[in-house]
Structure formats: C-alpha cells, structure tokens
Amino acid sequence: MHSHLHMICRAAEGFQLTDILRDFKRYTSKKIVKQIEDEPESRQEWLLPFLQKYCEHLKREQRFKLWQDGNHAKVIYSNSFFYEKLNYIHQNPVQEMIVEKQEEYLFSSARNYAELPSLLEIILETPQLKTYL
C-alpha cells in the first residue's frame, strides 16, 4: 500500500515483536530519507520539509518522521482469525482500487499464495493454533 503496511509476523524465540517493529521503522525510515536525499527525487523540495514538520512535537531529537507512532497489533488466536486477517491484507489493494485481483499487487504475499513470481520472500505456513472455546 502506498500509505501503510500490513503484515502477519511473529518474533522468534527470545525476541520481542515490539523491538522488531521499532527497529524495522528506524531502518526503513533512514533508508527512505537517504534515497530521497541522494536520488533526483522530484518531490524532494516539499517532501523532506513535510517529514521534518512531524518532528516538531517530539521530545527526542529527530530530523525526519516517516512512520506513525505505535502499531495496531492483533494477537492471532485461531486459524479462522488468521485467515480473516490474511484475506483482509490481500484484499486491501483491491479495496483501494490499485488492482483488480489481489495477486496483481506486486508487494503482496497473495502472489506467493497464488504461486506467482513475487518480490517478497515469505514463509507460507498454515497456522497450527490452539482453538479456545
């Protein structure tokens, strides 16, 4: 998606998902800003000041702010909830009218599930979750 990211993920043993998301945001922010600064980006003259503006309220010193604070994490508690969220993620570019079919969106795991060439490396898993009654 052009303005946000959806993913289903888990932290490996000994790691915290909150730490992984924090580090992901930090790493990608730096890379995106560097790309904007280094490449002939037509939107550079307004985009960098725009990203700087979002730092004005911060207590910590930061040049640019790309990601919103926090996240909207949901615990996957059943197989049906897993597939509900996976379907939502895959349908998001269709709902936004970016593509007609979910597997057409190049940055979606829908391509992996459809066994099409993909830009993403993902692990296709069927969740083995406990169902709680």
For each of the chain's 133 residues, which pLDDT tens digit applies? Answer: 677 888 888 888 899 988 999 999 999 999 999 998 898 878 888 988 989 888 888 788 888 988 888 888 888 888 899 999 999 999 999 999 999 999 999 999 999 989 999 988 887 665 555 444 3
Of residues 22, 27, 9, the one with CA closest to residue 76: 9
Question: How distant is the alpha carbon of residue 39 from its chain centre?
Answer: 23
- What is the token pair recorded at 18? 């909150």
Q: Which residues touch 47 (CB under 8 Å, ≥6 apart)?
A: 36, 41
Which DSSP symbol is given to 114?
T
Cut 0.85: pTM above it: no
* Coil, strand or helix at 98: coil
Q: Which residues touch 16 (CB under 8 Å, ≥6 apart)?
A: none
How far is 95 from 91, CA to CA, in rounded Å?
Answer: 6
